[in-house]
Amino acid sequence: MGKTIFIGVRKGGVGKTMTVANLGIGLAREGKKTLVIDTDSQFSLTVSLGVREPDKLPFTLSTVMSNIINERHFDPTEGLIHHSEGVDLLPANSSLTGIELALAPLIGRETVLRQYVEMVRPLYDFILIDTPPTLDLLTVNALAAADSIIIPIAPKFLDAKGLELLLRSIAQIRRQINPNLLIEGILLTMVERRANHTREVIELVENAYGGNIQIFADYIPRSVRAAETSARGVSIFAHEPNGKVAAAYQSLVGEVLRCA
């Protein structure tokens, strides 16, 4: 039965989507059947994995959630896009904004995505969920569906504040919806090791949270080459396989496999 991992933080621009794509493809490279789910109405993950016109897709996450909301029977594998590097994608597009409104009046509105995850869980070793940087109903659905959480943050003061906000939200989700939700670790991304401010924020995060939460050993370095992968629709393993970013993501893959 697949392990479901929420990847997110309440702050944008931290390499969250890049982490979902590269961790997912990294797991697939290790022979693990992996599904990535895009729950962001800005559909960054979908575009990052090579879908150029998401609004023209006939079947997306919003279709799945609409089917569940309206109790329509459907094939849970319909609409999945198989990426050339081995990972499957449940894409998103701008129609997700309407799903938020459809969820609002429902009883059990927090668990619609969980119902889908339970349908596909037997088919995969890992299910990774990419999320928007807000605590909207789609993010709550992702937290309710997850077994564990990886929190990517960039070493900036405001990103550390975003971590604090997410931890408060996780505590609420545990109390009210998903008591078994675990924090797998904090992943430092977009790291420039030589910058004084970077070292200060990393030390702040380690001192504040390192005693209770794992901080992944290898940081993801800032890299122009890594930023190019989204435009090309491929992973860092395909774009720059011998670089520092690929090595860091390969280390993350190993840590996730050890925790599975």
pLDDT digits (tens, 9 = 90+) for 193-214: 777 778 888 888 888 888 899 9
Nearest-angstrom CA–CA distance, 146 and 140: 10
pTM of the model: 0.95
Is the pLDDT at 243 greater than 90, yes or no? yes
Tell me what the pLDDT averaged over the chain comes to: 92
Q: Calculate mean pLDDT across residues 102-113.
A: 94
Is residue 55 very low, low, confident or very high in pLDDT (cuts 50, 70, 90)?
very high
Q: Match 């924090």 to its residue by tokens.
A: 183
**C-alpha gyration radius of the chain:** 17
Question: Which of 227, 237, 259, 239 has its CA nearest to residue 15?
Answer: 227
Sign of CA dihedral 78, 79, 82, 87: negative
CATH of 3-259, one of 3.40.50.10800, 3.40.50.300, 1.10.287.110, 3.40.50.1100: 3.40.50.300
Q: Is the pLDDT of residue 63 over 70?
A: yes
**How many Cα neighbours within 13 Å face the side chain of 114?**
15
42: Cα within 13 Å, side-chain hemisphere: 8
Instruction: Band the pLDDT of 64: cuts 50, 70, 90.
Output: very high
Is a pLDDT exceeding 80 seen at residue 154? yes
Query: Where are the chain's structural domains?
Result: 3-259
